[in-house]
């Protein structure tokens, strides 16, 4: 079973897509161009501090707001290994899966963990923080299929016989 450990960035409830990727920068040419502006309305310094393998832990309704897929793409491009939130807004949830960004739903961790601490995730099974274990509920099969293919683009390429 896949297991990884990462440093936590702690965010609150209702982290909306305008915070994750403000509209002002939405029409920049590439996702990498947009990365420096991620989370800028809330924490302008955050994007530069995130390192490969870090983990975002947040409250309820993460990713609420617009359909902009730049939001999960930018999070992934910044190197975030996975997001663990109490709950997700639906469009963001679909977009993240379609781009192969791992989302984990857990309402308790955000109450316990502090920013900068390390947690360990056992994919599909549990999260470990200090001496506590938090269960992870499994995803529906059709979503696992997309994740397994490596995102929706790959799934469609397979459909079109391109891979």
Partner 1 sequence: MGQTLIEKIIARNIGREKVTPGEIVTVNVDRVMVHDIFIPFVADKFEEMGFSKIWDPDKMVLIYDHLVPASQLDDARHFATGDAFAAKYGVRNVHRSDGICHQLMTEAGYVKPGDIAFGTDSHTVTYGCVGAFSTGIGYTEMAGILGTGKLWIRVPETIKVQVDGTLPPNVTSKDVILQILGDLRADGATYKSLEFAGSTFDAMTVASRMTMANMTVECGAKCGLFSPDEKTAEYCGIAPADFKNDTFLQNLKGDPDAVYDRVLTYRAEDFVPVAACPSQVDNIHPVSEIAGKAVDQVFLGSCTNGRLEDLAAAAEILKGRKVAPFVKFIVTPASRKIYREALEAGILETLAEAGAMITHPGCGLCCGRAGGILTDNEVVVATNNRNFLGRMGTSKVQIYLASPKTAAWTAVEGKITVPV
- Residues near partner 1 (CB under 8 A) are 14, 16-19, 22-24, 26-29, 40-42, 60-61, 64-70, 72, 87-91, 94-95, 98-99, 140, 142, 151-153, 156-157, 159-162
Cβ–Cβ < 8 Å for 149, 155: yes
Considering the complex, state which of residue 111 and residue 162 has its C-beta at the smaller distance from partner 1.
Answer: 162
The alpha carbon of 79 is separated from its chain's Cα centroid by a whole number of angstroms, namely: 10
- Smallest distance from the beta carbon of 152 to partner 1, in angstroms? 5
Considering the complex, state which of residue 2 and residue 45 has its C-beta at the smaller distance from partner 1.
Answer: 45
DSSP state, 99? T
- Smallest distance from the beta carbon of 25 to partner 1, in angstroms? 9
- Smallest distance from the beta carbon of 69 to partner 1, in angstroms? 4
Q: Is 31 exposed, middle or buried (0-12, 13-18, 19+ CB in 10 A)?
A: middle
Pairing label, strands 55-58, 126-129 = unpaired
Considering the complex, state which of residue 64 and residue 119 has its C-beta at the smaller distance from partner 1.
Answer: 64
- Smallest distance from the beta carbon of 11 to partner 1, in angstroms? 12
Considering the complex, state which of residue 24 and residue 112 has its C-beta at the smaller distance from partner 1.
Answer: 24
- Smallest distance from the beta carbon of 124 to partner 1, in angstroms? 19
Cβ–Cβ < 8 Å for 83, 55: yes
Cβ–Cβ < 8 Å for 22, 39: no
Considering the complex, state which of residue 4 and residue 47 has its C-beta at the smaller distance from partner 1.
Answer: 47
Q: How far apart are CA 52 and CA 55, in angstroms?
A: 9
């Amino acid at each position: 079973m896949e297991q990884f450990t990462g440093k936590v960035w702690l965010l609150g409830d209702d982290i909306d897509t305008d915070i994750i990727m403000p509209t002002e920068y939405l029409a920049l040419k590439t996702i990498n161009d947009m990365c420096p502006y991620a989370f800028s309305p809330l924490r302008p310094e955050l994007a530069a501090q995130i390192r490969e393998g870090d983990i975002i832990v947040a409250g309820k309704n993460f990713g609420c707001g617009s359909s902009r897929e730049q939001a999960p793409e930018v999070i992934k491009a910044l190197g975030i290994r996975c997001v663990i939130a109490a709950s997700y807004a639906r469009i963001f949830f679909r977009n993240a899966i379609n781009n192969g960004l791992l989302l984990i739903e857990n309402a308790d961790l955000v109450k316990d963990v502090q920013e900068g601490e390390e947690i360990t995730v056992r994919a599909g099974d549990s999260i470990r923080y200090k001496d506590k274990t938090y269960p992870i509920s499994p995803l529906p099969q059709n979503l696992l299929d997309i994740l397994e293919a490596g995102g929706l683009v790959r799934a469609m390429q397979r459909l079109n016989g391109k891979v």
